[in-house]
Structure formats: structure tokens, C-alpha cells
């Protein structure tokens, strides 16, 4: 598995480089305090294998178009095991909205590659109004014995940081299962919009109908959240 330590990401260019570096250092230190080292990997096959390995304690991952750029964040414990993850995909919504790409299934599959039994319906005004470059969080998981330690939102913040460093997207979005809405509603999720009702219905091949809440952060919201995560002097 190819992996790189988050703490080694250079973060030397761009308007918000100082903020990203300071937030990176603070988030990595928080991970060490919790007993994990944070890594980033481009090997999506390895993430899918983890999902299959821990299927009893992890929802099946949403599919992603095979041609899209993607990465995932991992928390590694002292035994070298991955105990938490967040996966992120870059979706091009410059010519259409994210909601439209959900509805025509191109958010999930390359054009024409969706299984014949799949379909989606999107009534989310926010999703239909989200266009431009979009970083989509498609997978978030904590191993059951590591839950309740604050890793979920820590990895979410790191995933948004790496997305900003790699792609500088206009939006970061997620589709949230109703069972995990209380987790994402917590203050530590940052300045996110989380729709109160599941306005997206996705019939996934082999899984069935999934009611989903739309969630998004603007680029400005992500940067402000990362400033909050960074020491004041370092972010200045």
C-alpha cells in the first residue's frame, strides 16, 4: 500500500499555505495524543479491501467514477493497523451541479458504467445549487474499538485539509446516512450545512434504497475551520 505521513506534506504554495501548515501540525499532534499516526494514500483498492474486511462494522462504501482523482486518510495505531479512514473523490461539476450528477449517476460511475438496476433522485436544493470543483467525502469509518475517541472528526478535518492542498475545490460535500446525522451535527464538524431531511434517494446495486442527507462546506468555511484548528501565531 502506498502511503505518506500527513506531517510530511510540504504545503508551501498558495494563498492559504501558512494556515494549512499550521493546521496540519496541530491535527497531527492531536492524532499522536490520541494514539494514532495520520497517513494519506492514493490506493483506492486498499481502502475497498478495508471496507470489505470490516463489513460488519462499516457501511458499504458508495461507488465512485473510476476515472476520478481520489485519496483517503488513515489513522494508524501502534500495531500498524488502520483504525479509521476518510475517503475523498474529486468531482467536476463546472458544467453541471453536483445534484444533477447524483441524479444521472455520474457522481457514482463513469458515464454509461452504472449497473442497470441503479437509479437516484435528488430533491436537495443545496446539492442542485453546488457547482464548480467538488471534493466529495464518500467514506468515513472508525473501527468499533476506537469509537468515542474523537477520530471521526479529526480525520474529517484532515481530509478537508488535504483536499484543499491538492485540488483547492470550491466545495467539499458528503452524503450522510440518517444514522450518522447526529455525529455530523456535532459542533466539531465545523461550518457545514447539513440538510435536516434526506432529500436524496439512491438505489445502489446490491445494497438497495439509501435515503441520504446532503452536507457541504464552502472553501471559505473549510479555511476558517482550519484556522480554528491552527495555533494563532502559526496561522498569522
Question: Each residue of 182-210: pLDDT tens digit?
Answer: 887 766 678 888 999 999 999 999 889 99
Mean pLDDT of 42-71: 93
Q: 21 pLDDT band (50/70/90 cuts)?
A: very high
Q: 179 pLDDT band (50/70/90 cuts)?
A: confident
Strand extents, DSSP E, 157-198: 171-176, 193-194
Q: Which of 43-47, 72-76, 182-186 has the lowest mean pLDDT?
A: 182-186
Phi, psi of 65 (to 5 degrees): -60, 130
Q: 233 pLDDT band (50/70/90 cuts)?
A: very low
**Dist. CA 113–CA 72, nearest whole Å:** 23
* 3-state secondary structure string across 61-116: CCCCCCCCCEEEEEEECCCCCEEEEEEEEEEEECCCCHHHHHHCCCCCCCCCCCCC
Looking at residue 131, what is its pLDDT? Answer: 97
166 membership: H or E segment, kind and range:
helix 151-167
Helix axes of 151-167 and 219-229: crossing angle, nearest 10 degrees: 120
Looking at residue 232, what is its pLDDT? Answer: 47
Looking at residue 1, what is its pLDDT? Answer: 60
SS3 27: helix
Looking at residue 82, what is its pLDDT? Answer: 96
Amino acid at each position: 500500500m502506498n502511503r505518506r505521513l500527513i506531517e510530511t506534506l510540504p504545503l508551501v504554495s498558495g494563498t492559504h499555505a501558512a494556515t494549512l501548515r499550521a493546521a496540519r501540525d496541530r491535527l497531527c499532534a492531536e492524532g499522536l495524543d490520541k494514539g494514532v499516526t495520520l497517513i494519506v494514500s492514493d490506493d483506492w483498492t486498499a481502502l475497498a479491501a478495508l471496507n470489505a474486511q470490516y463489513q460488519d462494522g462499516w457501511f458499504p462504501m458508495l461507488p465512485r467514477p473510476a476515472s476520478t482523482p481520489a485519496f483517503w486518510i488513515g489513522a494508524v495505531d501502534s500495531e500498524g493497523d488502520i483504525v479509521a479512514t476518510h475517503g475523498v473523490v474529486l468531482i467536476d461539476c463546472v458544467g453541471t451541479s453536483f445534484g444533477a450528477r447524483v441524479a444521472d449517476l455520474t457522481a457514482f460511475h463513469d458515464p454509461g458504467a452504472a449497473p442497470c438496476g441503479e437509479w437516484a433522485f435528488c430533491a436537495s436544493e443545496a446539492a442542485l445549487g453546488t457547482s464548480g470543483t467538488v471534493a466529495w467525502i464518500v467514506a468515513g469509518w472508525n473501527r468499533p474499538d476506537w469509537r468515542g475517541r474523537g477520530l471521526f472528526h479529526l480525520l474529517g478535518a484532515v481530509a478537508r485539509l488535504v483536499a484543499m492542498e491538492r485540488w483547492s475545490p470550491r466545495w467539499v460535500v458528503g452524503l450522510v446516512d440518517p444514522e450518522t446525522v447526529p455525529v455530523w451535527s456535532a459542533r466539531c464538524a465545523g461550518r457545514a450545512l447539513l440538510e435536516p431531511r434526506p432529500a436524496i434517494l439512491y438505489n445502489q446495486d446490491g445494497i438497495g434504497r439509501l435515503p441520504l442527507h446532503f452536507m457541504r462546506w464552502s472553501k471559505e468555511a473549510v479555511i476558517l475551520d482550519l484556522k480554528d484548528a491552527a495555533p494563532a501565531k502559526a496561522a498569522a
